[in-house]
Amino acid sequence: MTRRDTLEDETGKKLPAMRVFSLSIDFLRKGILDTLSKHVDGTFIASDIQWVLTVPAIWNDAAKQFMREAARKATIPESLTLCLEPEAAFIYCRHLPMSKCTKQEVTSISQFSPGTKYIVLDAGGGTVDITVHEVTDDGNLKELHKASGGAWGGTKVDEAFEEFLSSIVGPVVISKFKSHYLEDFIDFFREFESKKRKLIQSTTFVTMRFPASLSDLCPEVKETEFRELIRQSRFESKVQVLRDKLKIDGDVINEFFEPTVRKIISHVENILTESSVDGCAAILMVGGFSESSVLQRNVKSTFKHLKVIVPDDAGLAVLKGAVIFGHKPTTITERICKFTYGHGFSHRYNESCKHRKGIVEKDENGDMRCYDLFDIRVKAGQSVKVDEEQPERICTPVTDDQTALAINVYASTSSNPQLTTEDGCNLI
């Protein structure tokens, strides 16, 4: 996510991403202040509130900075904290009574004793965030494995459903359905959203209301009725039209899930091979997509040796956890660095330099110097505690009359970068 990115709506219209995010945040800000004014005596302004904005744990520093700037444009004051979504979800579930979790052997992570390791599988609409935590002696948490994941959220299943429709009626019909009957399009996909969460057995049929506007477009664009287009497709025996209802075989619906679920399962399997995760006891599933019984069933059947815990309101766990995090932001005491951080520096050149050579040129004193060197402060994969200070370093001026130092901070995907100009190294 960059300041120059644009977002496209269902009809193909584009707007700068920064404008979309800032307007969305501003809408929420106004709603909060309006609600407070109706239910609480006194006058509130934005600076009276501690604001918490949740972001996926897999986002990089630039994306998080983007969100800070979007919040600033939405007139959110400096009292803003970013909270990683899997951490917020855990914090909420840590405070849950046992009755709020599904009935299993261990019904709440509040029962986890110090030293217990567990995976947080935060499956949302767009992304899936996977983190690994361990409960510390004081009941707080430390991160054992850097956050990872990908764009494997519930919207991928929606995209597969749209591709299924397009394979029957054609992309032109779908495009016109979006542009001419957007409200019907949104309602249709909302119903699919509710159906996909409740799908339990692959042998069942899923019945949905079918919008008349989409049916009417088929003869208009394709000169063929919708029923006939089904008969001409590979889904002839799998899809039926019953008046205003569309009946789809459960096997077809499960196909929509298969690629996304496979990626999630494979990624969790890879994480469990890491030595730092050895002895993991449970998987905590949160996020809207975690409410899908198809995803739950696959996780439980694949990881039978782990306890799988799904709170009743998995889709709201991040939201509610963010509120608790705002009151106690030090619950997560230790995190794993996703990148190597450091700053650029230079030194006098000599032939015994063991680092890779960067730019070598004369300075103002006439001495040959190596430039663009990377001075590592913390490494990718290193465990860093909250408020922990790193060792001091002394930087010296290059010339006698120098009155200021420019400290450029960099992040690198490499664990041992030597130059600030290497691939994977970015100026923060």
pLDDT at res. 109: 64
250 and 161 share a domain? Answer: yes
Q: Is residue 182 part of a domain?
A: yes
Checking DSSP bridges between strand 117-123 and strand 282-286, what pairing results, if any?
Answer: parallel
Q: Is residue 384 part of a domain?
A: yes
Composition of the chain by helix, strand, coil, percent to 5: 40, 25, 35
Report the pLDDT averaged over residues 234-253.
89
User: Does 353 or 318 have the greater pLDDT score?
Assistant: 318
Q: Give me the chain's average pLDDT, please.
A: 87
345 φψ region: left (φ > 0), alpha (ψ -120 to 50), beta (else): beta
Total domain count, the chain: 2
Which residues have C-beta within 8 Å of that of residue 251, sequence separation ≥ 6? 202, 203, 238
Q: What is the per-residue pLDDT across 128-149, written as a single tens digit (0 to 9) for each? A: 999 998 988 887 788 888 888 8
pLDDT above 70 as % of the chain: 94
Q: Is residue 120 part of a domain?
A: no
Q: Note whether 76 and 25 are within 8 A (CB).
A: yes
172-176, 201-205, 390-394: range with highest mean pLDDT: 172-176
143/134 Cα distance (integer angstroms): 6
User: Does 12 or 31 have the greater pLDDT score?
Assistant: 31
Q: What is the per-residue pLDDT across 289-335, written as a single tens digit (0 to 9) for each? A: 998 888 999 999 999 999 998 888 888 999 999 999 999 888 888 88
Burial 22-40 (b: 16+ CB within 10 A, else e): beebbeebeeebeeeeeee
Q: Is residue 52 part of a domain?
A: no
Q: Is residue 413 part of a domain?
A: yes
> What angle, rounded to 10 degrees, do the helices at 171-180 and 155-169 form?
120
Of 239, 256, 273, which residue constitutes the final position of a domain?
Answer: 256
Task: Out of 27-31, 93-97, 116-120, 211-215, pick the least confident.
Answer: 93-97
366 φψ region: left (φ > 0), alpha (ψ -120 to 50), beta (else): left
User: Does 20 or 93 have the greater pLDDT score?
Assistant: 20
Report the pLDDT averaged over residues 344-371.
78
Judged against a pLDDT cut of 80, whether residue 114 lies above it is answered with yes
Q: Is residue 327 part of a domain?
A: no
Of 221, 240, 256, which residue constitutes the final position of a domain?
Answer: 256
Q: Is residue 409 part of a domain?
A: yes
Q: Is residue 363 part of a domain?
A: yes
Of 228, 256, 284, which residue constitutes the final position of a domain?
Answer: 256
Domain that includes residue 390, residue range? 337-427
pLDDT above 90 as % of the chain: 47
pLDDT at res. 355: 66
